[in-house]
Amino acid sequence: MKFPHIIGRKEMIRAALSGSITGLVGVLVFMIILNSMNSTYTEEKQQNELIPVSSQQTEEKKENEYSEQFYAKQHGVFSTFEKASEFVYGHSSLNTSAVVEIDGNFYVWSGVATSKDDIVLTEDPPSFVKPFTLSAEGCKKPALKNLPSLLKNDDSLKLNFEGGKKMGDLPPDWESITFALSSISNDLSVVRMHLLAHYFTENDCLKIKF
What's the pTM value of the predicted model, to 2 decimals? Answer: 0.69
Burial label, 94 (beta-carbon count in 10 A; 0-12, 13-18, 19+) = buried
- Residue 129 confidence class, pLDDT cut points 50, 70, 90: very high
The DSSP element (H or E) to which 55 belongs, if any, is: helix 53-65
Rounded to the nearest angstrom, the gap between the alpha carbon of residue 189 and the centroid of all alpha carbons in its chain is 25
Burial label, 74 (beta-carbon count in 10 A; 0-12, 13-18, 19+) = buried
Q: What is the pLDDT of residues 148-170, one digit of tens each?
A: 999 999 988 886 554 545 566 78
d(CA 110, CA 77): 13
Q: What is the pLDDT of residues 85-124, one digit of tens each?
A: 999 999 999 999 999 999 999 999 999 999 999 999 999 9
- What is the model's pLDDT at position 156? 87
Q: What is the pLDDT of residues 41-63, one digit of tens each?
A: 545 545 555 556 555 555 555 55
Task: For the chain, list the strands marked E by DSSP.
Answer: 67-78, 98-102, 105-113, 128-135, 207-209
